[in-house]
Amino acid sequence: MSSESALSPVRPGSLEQQALGAGPEAPLADLLRGRRSVRGYRPDPVPADVIRDVLADAILAPSSMNTQPWKFHVLSGEVLDRIREENTRLMLAGAPIQRDVTVSERYEGVHRDRQVDIAKRLFGAMGIAREDQDARLDWTMRGFRQFDAPVSIVIAHDRSLEAVSPIAHFDLGAVVHALVLSAWSRGLGTVINSQGIMQGAAVRREAGIPDDHVIFTAVAMGYPDEDFAANHVRSARESVDEVARFVGFD
């Protein structure tokens, strides 16, 4: 464990101990079943060498024809604070969303049902009533601030890959999954967070991200705050029988 994280002892049974207990050599199934999204963080800094180890694991992810399209911009300190402030200011002012990748989050059908389910679980854990508009707005603002995590990793790909971007996006999904699993094995929490990069121009300007990098998503990272109720929420998963069909088997 880093000297910085040692300043705050790991509590028995805590999220951080669960993650550290898995360890980098733990069976993959343990990491997959133990990991969860973390939306509340301690202020402890995350050492750059720990993040470097996480990224060294992540870039072992598969990619189409070994193209390895990923670019990582690891942000912390004043730079990240300025991004939080500007992203929040613009979103509250009603500024148009400026993302490099066009997305629509207006889910329908079962996908909308799953979205609503996790929102209910999170709001229930945080004691946010449906009619409490102030609390709901505050929760949204936390997302725009990347949940106040001490680190944000902005994931991008070369603009030259835009013509084949669906494949590049698939590869970025693989590297992000590897990243969050590696982080969890080291006692770090993460949450994949696109709200924090809604104002992509501000992110690019403050972080000095080159114009030829397409900003895809971000991962908030830090040591989990054990007392933050939402950190203990687990999302529901469909069974294999509900999402898979087997063809050609006896």
Q: Determine the average pLDDT of the residues in 148-153.
A: 98
- The candidate with the shortest Cα–Cα distance to 146, out of 38, 5, 8, is 38
Residue 192 or residue 15, greater confidence: 192
The per-residue pLDDT for range 106-149, each reduced to its tens digit, is 899 999 999 999 999 999 999 999 999 999 999 999 999 999 99
Residue 226 phi/psi, 5° resolution? -65, -25
DSSP per-residue string spanning 24-49 = TTS-HHHHHHH--B---B-SPPPPHH
Stated length of the chain: 250
pLDDT band (50, 70, 90) for residue 223: very high
Dist CA 29 CA 173 (whole Å): 19
Sign of dihedral through CA atoms 107, 111, 113, 114? negative
pLDDT band (50, 70, 90) for residue 201: very high
What's residue 6's pLDDT?
Answer: 37
Dist CA 101 CA 99 (whole Å): 5
Sign of dihedral through CA atoms 33, 15, 49, 205? positive
Longest distance between any two alpha carbons in the chain, whole Å: 60
H/E stretch holding 118: helix 109-126
Is the predicted pLDDT of residue 47 greater than 60, yes or no? yes
The percentage of residues in the chain with a pLDDT greater than 90, rounded to a whole number, is 83
Dist CA 180 CA 193 (whole Å): 12
Whether 121 contacts 231, CB under 8 Å:
no
Side-chain-side CA neighbours of 232 within 13 Å: the count stands at 10
CA 15 to chain centre: 16
H/E stretch holding 200: helix 200-207
pTM for this entry = 0.88
Tokens of 91: 């979103």
